[in-house]
Structure 1
Amino acid sequence: MRSAELQVATIGGGCFWCTEAVFQRLKGVEKVVSGYSGGNVPGKPTYREVCSGLTGHAEVIQIHYNPEIISFEELLIIFMTTHDPTTLNQQGADRGTQYRSVIFYHNEDQKDVAEQVLKELTSEFDRPIVTELSPLTNFFEAEDYHQNYYNDNSTQGYCTFVIDPKLYKLRRLYADKLKPES
C-alpha cells in the first residue's frame, strides 16, 4: 500500500517558535518550517524587516503532513485551541501585525474547511475570533536559527515561560494525537 502524498498547511498564531513546537509533536506531521507569509514588499524579507511590522508579513509555519494520519481540519482545530484567536495582532506580549492569527489557504478545499472550522469554533470563545483567512501568495523560509527553535533551546526563558504552557495544553487536550516521544 502506497502512503499518502504529504500536504501542506500554512498558519500563523504569534511567534513561529510557539506554533512550530506544537505541530512538531503531532502524529502525521512530517516537517514544520518557520517562515514569513502575506507580505507586500518585493524580495525575501529578513527577520528584522518582518519584526518592524512594515513588510506586511506574518510569522508562520508550513506544516507538511500526512492526511491519512491527521486531517487539515484536525490541524486547524488544534491551531485554534492552542493560541488565542481572539486577540488582534497579538499573542501574549508579542504585538504587531507579524504576530496576527492567520490561516493561509493553498486551495479552495482548504478555504472551505477553514471557514467551517472558524464557524464551528465561534461559540467556544468569549470574544469574537479575529483569525484572518487569506490565500497563500508567498512563503519565505525563516533564517536557520529560527528552525527547530524550541527543540534546540528549550531551557531559554522564552521557551520556559511562553512555549512550555502551550505544550502542556497540547498534551492535556490532544494526548491521543501526539507522537510517542512527545
Structure 2
Amino acid sequence: MSEATFAGGCFWCVEAVFLGLRGVVAVESGYSNGHDPAPTYEAVCAGETGHAEVVRVRFDPTQISYRQLLEVFFAVHDPTTLNRQGNDVGTQYRSGIYTHDAQQAQTARDFIEQLAMSSIYERPIVTEVAPLSNYHPAEAYHQRYFEQHPHQGYCAFVVAPKVDKSRRLFPDLLRQG
C-alpha cells in the first residue's frame, strides 16, 4: 500500500471523491502542515494553527497510480485560488500536495508543470507541494461525512457536485459495486 495526502478545500469534498475510486482502500480527513501540536477543528477553522484541511489516501498502486490520483485531485478543485475554494476562505482551505517521499514530490511538480504549460487554467496554479508534516486525523464526526450526511446543505450543494464531476470525468477509475 501507498499513501498520498491532498488539500483541496473542505476535506469533506476531497474525501468523498477519493472514497469512490478503485484501488483506494482508506481515506482519512485530517489536518497537516501547520504548527500547532494538537489542532482542533475550531482552531484550524479560525486560522490559528497554520494547518490545511487534508485527506490522507491509502491506495494500492497496482490498481490506481499516484499520477491518476493527481489527475482526479486537480479536476475536482480549483488550484488557482490562493487560500480558498469557492466560499470557503482561509489558509486551511489552500490547495496543497503533501508528499510522503521524493518520488511523489517530483511527480507532483512535473504534473503541475505539465498543467501550467497546457494552458488549461486561465490563472497560475498556486498549489503548494511540500513534505507532509505535523499530520493529525480530524475528529471522528468528520470521517466519511458526506456518506453519513448526503442531504445536509453543504453536502448537497458543494460536495455532491464534486463527486458527480469526478464520476463523470473518470468512469474508468470508479470503484465497482
1:66-77 residue pairs with structure 2 within 5 A? Answer: 66-77=60-71
Structure 2 Cα separation of the partners of residues 26 and 125 of structure 1: 25
1:96 paired with 2:90, answer: yes
Structure 1 Cα separation of the partners of residues 69 and 38 of structure 2: 27
SS of residue matched to 2:125: coil
Which one of the candidate residues 111, 132, 149 is aligned to 1:117? 111
Structure 1 residue ranges, 4+ long, deviating more than 4 angstroms after superposition: none
SS of residue matched to 1:27: coil
Using structure 2 for the length normalisation, give the TM-score. 0.97
> Post-superposition shift, 1:154?
0.3
The alignment yields a C-alpha RMSD, in angstroms, of 0.7
Structure 2 Cα separation of the partners of residues 90 and 32 of structure 1: 22
Structure 2 Cα separation of the partners of residues 124 and 69 of structure 1: 27
1:133-152 residue pairs with structure 2 within 5 A? Answer: 133-152=129-148
Which segments of 5 or more consecutive residues in structure 2 lack a partner in the other structure? none
Aligned to 2:171: 175
Structure 2 Cα separation of the partners of residues 167 and 136 of structure 1: 25
1:35 paired with 2:35, answer: no
1:158 is aligned with what amino acid? Y
SS of residue matched to 1:127: coil
Aligned residues: 175
Aligned to 1:13: 8
> Post-superposition shift, 1:23?
0.2
> Post-superposition shift, 1:137?
1.5
Structure 1 Cα separation of the partners of residues 82 and 35 of structure 2: 19
1:108 paired with 2:122, answer: no
Which segments of 5 or more consecutive residues in structure 1 lack a partner in the other structure? 1-5
1:85 paired with 2:79, answer: yes
> Post-superposition shift, 1:165?
0.8
1:39 is aligned with what amino acid? G
> Post-superposition shift, 1:135?
0.8
1:147-166 residue pairs with structure 2 within 5 A? Answer: 147-166=143-162
Structure 1 Cα separation of the partners of residues 125 and 87 of structure 2: 19
> Post-superposition shift, 1:82?
0.8
> Post-superposition shift, 1:126?
1.0
Using structure 1 for the length normalisation, give the TM-score. 0.94
1:60 paired with 2:61, answer: no
SS of residue matched to 1:56: coil
> Post-superposition shift, 1:157?
0.7
CA offsets 1:131-173 (integer angstroms, 9 cap, x no match): 0111111210000000000000001111110011111111111
> Post-superposition shift, 1:38?
0.5
Conserved 8 A contact 2:35-2:134: no
> Post-superposition shift, 1:116?
0.8
Identity %: 51
SS of residue matched to 2:42: helix
